[in-house]
Amino acid sequence: MSAAARAAQAPAAPRTGPLAGIKVVELGGLGPGPFCGMLLADLGADVVRVDRPAEQGTPARFPVLHRGRRSIAVDLKHPQGVELVHRLVAAADVVIEGFRPGAVERMGLGPDACLAANPGLVYGRMTGWGQDGPLAQEPGHDINYIALAGALHAIGPAGGDPVVPVNLVGDFGGGGMLLALGLVSAALHARTTGRGQVVDAAMTDGTALLLAMTYGFLAQGAWEDRPGVNLLDGGAPFYGVYRCADGRHLALGAIEPQFYASLLRVLGLTDDPDFARQRDRTAWPAMRAKLTELFATRPRDAWAARFAGQSACVTPVLSLTEAAEHPHNVARGTYRRAEHGGPEPAPAPRFTGTPTAPPDPAPPVGAHTDEVLRAAGLDEPDITALRQKGIIG
C-alpha cells in the first residue's frame, strides 16, 4: 500500500497552523486552483477536494499540488451529486472553483446558489481572463495571460524573442497566490461581519499587479518599454546571468555600490577603467564583454567557491535537483523529502505562534468519500445507494 493510501486510511490528525478551523471545499480543477488549495491546506485549513468518480482510486495526478487535503469522488453532472456538494458547502467557510465563467452556474453550484444557503461563505473564482470582459469566455493558458498583461514582452534578451518564464507568473504568482490572499482577506472580513462574498481572481489582473514596480519605473522614465536593456531585466552587465567554462551559469546581482565594489575586487577589476562608471550605459557593452570572457575561464562551482562570503551578490544558478540539496536550503528546510520519493517545497511562510505541520501526502482520488459524507450526516445505506447509482466513487 502506498504512503498516500496509508495516510488516507489513518485517523485524521488535528490541523495545525494559522488557518486551523477553516473549512474549504475545492471543486477539482487544474494548476492555480489546486495551488491555492495547497497553500490553504499547508497553513492548516481543512480542504476537501471534489474529484470525478471515474478517477476513483487512482493516484493523485499532481502529487505536490494535491497534498494536504481530503478527496471525495462525486458526479457533479448528477443532481444528487450536486446536492451532496451543497451539503458540504453549507458547512464550509470557503469554496474554490476554477472553471470557465458560467460553468458552475450550469451545474447548480454557482455563487448565488451557494451564498443563498450559506451567507457567510467566501466563494473564490480562479480564471485567466476574469469573470467579465470581452475575453471572459475565451480559452487560454499562462502564456496567453502574461502576454496580454505585458509581462511576457518584458522578459527576454535585447533584440531577441520573449522568453517563457515557465508558468510561474500567471498560473501561480498572479493566479493561485493572488486567490489565496483574496480568500484569506475575505474570510477575515466574514469572521468579523458574518457576510460572505465572491472573490474574482484573474491571472491577467494578478500578472499586472506583479508589474507594479516596473510600471512605477516606467512612469518615472527609469524603464524603457523594451526587454533586455534595463537595470533589472538583464540589461545591466552587473545584474544578469553568465555562462561558465562547464556550461553552467552564475547569477550576478551587484547593484548597490558596495556589492559592485566587492564584485570587482574578487575579479581583480577594481582598477579597470571600463568598470569605473557603473551606471553609465555607454560603458555597459564593454563591461559585459569582459565579464563574459572572464566567467568563461572557470567552472561554475569554482566561481561559486571564490565568491562565497565575499558580499558580492553572486550565486550559482542551480537546477531543481541541486536547489533542494544546497546547504542553505537544507539548513532551513526549504525543501522536504516527500512520500512520492522526490523533493518538494515545504510549507511557507513560517509562523512562530501557529507553526504548520508537515503536509500529508496527496491521497488517491476519492479516498475520503465515505468519511466526509458520514460527517455531513449521511448513513451507510445512503452512501451505499449513492455508490450503486454511480453518483460517488
Kindly report the three-state secondary structure assignment for every residue of 35-90: HHHHHHHHCCCEEEEEECHHHCCCCCCCCCCCCCCEEEEECCCCHHHHHHHHHHHH
Query: How many CB atoms are located within 10 Å of the residue 114 CB?
Result: 24
pLDDT at 9: 47
* 307 has pLDDT over 70: yes
Question: What is the β-pairing status of strands 343-345 and 335-337?
Answer: antiparallel
Q: What is the pLDDT of residues 192-211, one digit of tens each?
A: 999 999 999 999 999 999 99
Cis? peptide before 134, omega within 30° of 0:
no
Mean residue pLDDT across the chain: 95
Count Cα neighbours of 377 within 13 Å in the Cβ-side half-sphere: 8
Amino acid at 388: Q
238: CB partners within 8 A, 6+ apart: 252, 253, 254, 255, 260, 263, 278, 287
Q: What is the pLDDT of residues 59-94, one digit of tens each?
A: 999 999 999 999 999 999 999 999 999 999 999 999
Confidence of residue 237 (pLDDT cuts 50, 70, 90): very high
Q: What percent of the chain has pLDDT over 70?
A: 97
- What does the pLDDT average to over 111-140? 97
Confidence of residue 14 (pLDDT cuts 50, 70, 90): confident
**386 SS3 class:** helix
The dihedral built from the CA positions of residue 326, 327, 332 and 336, taken in this order, carries a sign that is: positive
pLDDT at 339: 80
- Does CATH place domain 3-210+334-388 in 3.40.50.10540? yes
Every domain of the chain and the residues it spans? 3-210+334-388, 239-332
- What does the pLDDT average to over 259-265? 98
- For the domain spanning 239-332, the CATH number is 3.30.1540.10
pTM of the model: 0.93
* 285 has pLDDT over 90: yes
C-alpha 327 chain-centroid distance = 24
Confidence of residue 290 (pLDDT cuts 50, 70, 90): very high
pLDDT at 338: 83
321 vs 339, more confident = 321
> Which active-site residues does the annotation give?
141, 171
- What does the pLDDT average to over 312-338? 96
b/e sequence 61-90, b meaning 16+ C-beta within 10 Å: eebbbbbbbbbbbbbbebeebbebbbebbe
* 2 has pLDDT over 90: no
146: CB partners within 8 A, 6+ apart: 152, 165, 169, 170, 174, 203, 207
